[in-house]
Amino acid sequence: MIDCGWAQASATGRAKISRAELEGVLAAHRLYLETDRRQGTRGNLGSADLTGRDLSGRLLRRMRLDHAILRDADLAAANLQRTNLAGADLSRACLAEADLQGARLSGARLEGANLRATVLIDADLEFAQMRGARLPHARLRGADLSGVDLEGAELGHADLSEANLRGANLAQARLDGADLRGARLGGSRLIGASLRKADLRRAYLRVARLEGADLSGADLRDTRGLVRSQIALASSLAGARLPVELLSQE
């Protein structure tokens, strides 16, 4: 069988890369990084079809993977620091324990993706599609998640401190035990979300929608922009610690 490499088009209409060619790109990229750009070539797999590929544990730091097709790909424990994944399709991909610190994922598709314990500190996830994604224990401190769709996502015990979640859709999301200290949640949708024992101290919650949200045991002290009418629509406030100004209104 003739291996047509890049010349062969996949069912998606994107460039299809052979295993040998992929290894060549990765080897040249590793050399590029290890020699501080003096040798090798920065890996460019933008728009490539990498559906189902095993890239677990690989060095992909600073690589171009924008608009790549990575559906069902295995990227577990891969080094993706500051990698460009803008507009990439990572639906159902495994990114468990991968390092995406400072990575660019704006507009990426991550529906149903496994991001358990994934590092996403300071990552750009603006307007990413992440419905049903699994992010328990993920580290998202300082990440830009504005406008992201995380409906039904699992974020138990995730670190979302100082994250930008303005206008995010978190309806039915599970955020039990999550660290949301200093997070910007203005205009976010937390309808039906579970925030049991979540830490929301210093979070900004102006016009955030909390209808049916479970805030049992949540720490809401020193939150900003939160008003009585918002928490009145929550399904439970049992054991929740409220801001002093709201306690005085009871």
pLDDT digits (tens), the chain, 250 positions: 223 233 334 445 556 789 999 999 999 999 999 999 999 999 999 999 999 999 999 999 999 999 999 999 999 999 999 999 999 999 999 999 999 999 999 999 999 999 999 999 999 999 999 999 999 999 999 999 999 999 999 999 999 999 999 999 999 999 999 999 999 999 999 999 999 999 999 999 999 999 999 999 999 999 999 999 999 999 999 999 999 888 765 4
Residue 19 burial class via C-beta count within 10 angstroms: exposed 0-12, middle 13-18, buried 19 and up = exposed
Q: Output the pLDDT for position 245.
A: 85
What's the pLDDT at 244? 87
Res 247: pLDDT: 77
pLDDT of residue 4: 26
Q: Are 99 and 119 in contact (CB under 8 A)?
A: yes
From the number of C-beta atoms within 10 Å of its C-beta (0-12, 13-18, 19+), residue 2 rates as exposed
Contacts 24+ apart (CB under 8 A), 115-123: none
Determine contact, residues 94/116, Cβ cutoff 8 Å. no
Q: Return the amino acid letter for 144.
A: D
> Are the beta carbons of 130 and 110 closer than 8 angstroms?
yes
**What's the rounded Cα separation, in Å, for the pair 149 and 121?**
18
What DSSP designation does 139 have?
Answer: B
Q: What is the pLDDT of residue 13?
A: 57
Identify the CA nearest to 127 among candidates 109, 112, 153, 141.
109
Angle at 178 between CA 172 and CA 182, to 5 degrees: 105
- Give dist(CA 90, CA 69) in Å, integer: 7
pTM: 0.92
Looking at residue 1, its pLDDT comes to 27
Give buried/exposed letters for 144-171 (b at 16+ CB in 10 A, else e): bbbbbbbbbbbbbbbbbbbbbbbbbbbb
Which pLDDT belongs to residue 3? 30
pLDDT value for 16: 78
pLDDT of residue 26: 98
Q: If we measure between CA atoms, which residue out of 96, 121, 95 comes closest to residue 109?
A: 95
